[in-house]
Amino acid sequence: MSDHRFDVAIVGDSLGAISCAVALGRYAPDLRVVLVTNADWIGGQITNQGVPALDEHEYVERSGTTTASYHDFRRSVREHYRRRYNVPPIMTESVLGADMPLNPGDAWVSRLAFDPRVGVEILEALLPADLQRVRGQVIGADVRGERIHALTLVTDDGERTLKAAYYIDATDTGDLLPLTGTAYVTGAESRSDTGEADAPLEARPDEVQSFTFPFAVAFCAGEDHTIAEPEGYVGFRDEQPYTLAPLGHDGQPVRYRMFKNSDTDNLPFWSYRRVHVGALLGGQDISLINWVSNDYFGGDILNTSPTERQRHLNAARRLSLGFLRWLQTECPRDDGGFGYPEFKLCPEVMGTSDGLSQQPYIRESRRIRALCRVVASDISTSANDGARARHFADSGGIGWYAMDLHPCVGNRNASRYAPTRPFQIPLGALIPADTVNLVAACKNIGTTHLTNGAYRLHPVEWAIGEMAGTLAAYSVRHALTPADVWHSPDHLTGVQAALIASGCPVAWAIDVPYRTPDGTINPLFAPTQRLLMRDIIRRDSQRWHHLGILPDAPIGDDLDMARVRELVADARPDHTWREICHLLAESRKIR
């Protein structure tokens, strides 16, 4: 059994694991970092989980509303398609409207949907060249007191011991938490625990969101690619049920057609998660099928034995294949009759023999008991009357998505879609209350069952990974635990400054991008972010109800001048925001 020592060990092949490695390579390239993965493809939900139709917010195309590296990833996807297929950067016709940026799938769920194999290629190119990588599974941990001393891996070459100063759990299901004895929760917490009005009276640890095995299909006109009926097909068909008319949030069916708009003008099922438009890119249309009909809520894979877990995974695979069979044989056709035998399963798109995703798409993980927990009132529209959600002084990133919950184990009617305000990601949510050298970097952060539904999406997970990598690197540099960093105002500001300098927004300001139109770094970005972290916008002001900060308007009485003057002593109400930023930059209080 070999012994390896690193500064930071990242465990997981999730999207958060990749952005974490990118952040570590950028902020501290001299550190010894290892990435431990257990899947054929890196990238989690974008790649091996088969969800490359990105779940994002309406401002995502603007620089500074996601991290700079996520923005660059999206740009790299489009550049790949422009080079390979010689297509223009703007689509004159799109399901989302005219003159939209290139969307290889022209999917209506996302402004950017693409082949997962393209995602793998681009993510691999982003990883630091000197990053050490190990393929294996963690099966044990040596924990002494509140500190992880080592991990035991099983690899193709046998067992290995891996030692690091800091460990990052970037697995989609929080796999390191039970192995290291780190306190965590699963499922729905009780109302008395979280204070959330929509939480159940008693905790339901097994009430975890459904997971899904997506699959890719091409439409091959005039051909018959009907698959054999999988075991349990009739039960799945009737009980799930398989349908193009799922129940909406009001309990009424929402009807879709396959290739045409519905009578109520719902867009077609086929283009929902389409990832390849044949008319634009050549070849046949390819769509990814990730729908409520193949969401598996028949059992929990977080709180069970390995044997039971495998049983549920196998059943979930049959559920998805059954949905394909239904689409091929029983789905109502737009032109009359039933079934689309023209749908051909595309195993090559997923990199698997059965055509399903390599890993299940995980919506809910084990979640650490963190130094800071995000609850529903922190982000919901009903509890926050301004343009933004609750201000977190320890913010290390931003995101925006509804609290979107799919059917759950034991409660198939637990679906929920509650609107939120654009929110922040507190650094304290990444730090366990107990294990001192572990950081969470995926869906395992300190959210609740409800708020997890808003923090699980692609750009948010990417930001969480960057935060985790930067926090770990900063902790190494200063020989501190992440909790020590969080408890120290100076060190917390240091981590935030490092994130901001890397193009990671920690507060919402849609009119102050990280990059200007010519691609240079905007000199207003860093001072704007630092000012906003002081929570300086007055609740009764115009700016409080505006997601931008109006850089060329006088600040007037919109700001708490006492807090502004803590950073800019000579600030005046007749100054514009831009002028305040220039004064702040000149005062060298921006790190």
What pLDDT digit, counting tens, does each position of 508-531 carry?
A: 999 999 999 888 999 999 999 999
Contact in structure between 30 and 158 (CB atoms under 8 Å): no
Contact in structure between 440 and 430 (CB atoms under 8 Å): yes
pLDDT tier, 586 (very low <50, low <70, confident <90, very high otherwise)? confident
Size of the chain, expressed as the number of residues it contains: 591
Phi, psi of 66, deg, nearest 5: -135, 175
Cis check for the bond before 200: say yes or no (omega within 30 of 0). no
Question: DSSP letter string over 505-534?
Answer: -SS--TTS-SB-TTSPBPTTHHHHHHHHTT
Q: Is it the case that residue 32 has pLDDT exceeding 70?
A: yes
Cα separation, 407 vs 361, whole angstroms? 14
- Report CA-CA distances (Å) from 46 to 21, 68, 199: 16, 18, 30
**Sequence spans of domains, the chain:** 2-84+117-189+364-375+427-499, 211-350, 509-591
**How many helices, marked H, and strands, marked E, lie in the chain?**
17, 20
Q: Is it the case that residue 77 has pLDDT exceeding 50?
A: yes
Q: Is it the case that residue 249 has pLDDT exceeding 80?
A: no
What SS3 class is residue 215?
strand
pLDDT tier, 590 (very low <50, low <70, confident <90, very high otherwise)? very low
Q: Is it the case that residue 416 has pLDDT exceeding 90?
A: no
Query: Which runs of E-coded beta strand occur in 156-304?
Result: 158-169, 184-185, 211-212, 215-219, 274-276, 286-289, 295-296
Q: How many CB atoms lie within 10 A of CB 458?
A: 26
Question: What pLDDT digit, counting tens, does each position of 171-202 carry?
Answer: 999 999 999 999 999 999 999 999 999 999 99
Residue 403, token pair as written in the block: 């609290």
H or E stretch at 120? helix 116-126
Average pLDDT of the chain to the nearest whole number: 95
Cα separation, 360 vs 583, whole angstroms? 51
Look at the block and give the residue holding tokens 């990242």: 10
Question: DSSP letter string over 123-154?
Answer: HHHHS-TT-EEEEEEEEEEEEETTEEEEEEEE
Question: What pLDDT digit, counting tens, does each position of 300-329 carry?
Answer: 999 999 999 999 999 999 999 999 999 999
According to DSSP, the residues that pair with 426 across neighbouring strands are 395
Residue 430, token pair as written in the block: 């990444």
Across the range 113-141, mean pLDDT stands at: 97
pLDDT tier, 3 (very low <50, low <70, confident <90, very high otherwise)? low
pLDDT tier, 4 (very low <50, low <70, confident <90, very high otherwise)? low
According to DSSP, the residues that pair with 420 across neighbouring strands are 380
Quick one: what percent of the chain has pLDDT higher than 90?
92
pLDDT at 555: 93
H or E stretch at 34? strand 33-37
pLDDT tier, 250 (very low <50, low <70, confident <90, very high otherwise)? confident
Starting at the edge strand found earlier in the chain, the sheet holding 343-345 runs: 274-276, 286-289, 215-219, 343-345
pLDDT at 342: 97
The amino acid occupying position 452 is N
CA 523 vs. chain centroid, Å, equals 28
Across the range 275-284, mean pLDDT stands at: 94
366: which residues sit within 8 A by CB, 6+ positions away?
A: 173, 174, 175, 177, 178, 184, 185, 186, 302, 444
H or E stretch at 565? helix 561-567
pLDDT at 588: 61
The amino acid occupying position 256 is Y
Contact in structure between 67 and 505 (CB atoms under 8 Å): yes
Q: Which class for 555: exposed (0-12), middle (13-18), buried (19 or more C-beta within 10 A)?
A: buried
Q: Is it the case that residue 2 has pLDDT exceeding 90?
A: no
Across the range 17-26, mean pLDDT stands at: 97
Q: Is it the case that residue 63 has pLDDT exceeding 70?
A: yes
Cα separation, 29 vs 32, whole angstroms? 8
3-state secondary structure 384-423: CCCCCCCCCCCEEEEECCCEEECCECCECCCCEEECECCE
Residue 272, token pair as written in the block: 């929902």
Q: Is it the case that residue 92 has pLDDT exceeding 90?
A: no
The CATH architecture assigned to 2-84+117-189+364-375+427-499 reads 3-Layer(bba) Sandwich (3.50)
Q: How many CB atoms lie within 10 A of CB 71?
A: 22
Question: What pLDDT digit, counting tens, does each position of 497-513 carry?
Answer: 999 999 999 999 999 99
Q: Is it the case that residue 405 has pLDDT exceeding 90?
A: yes
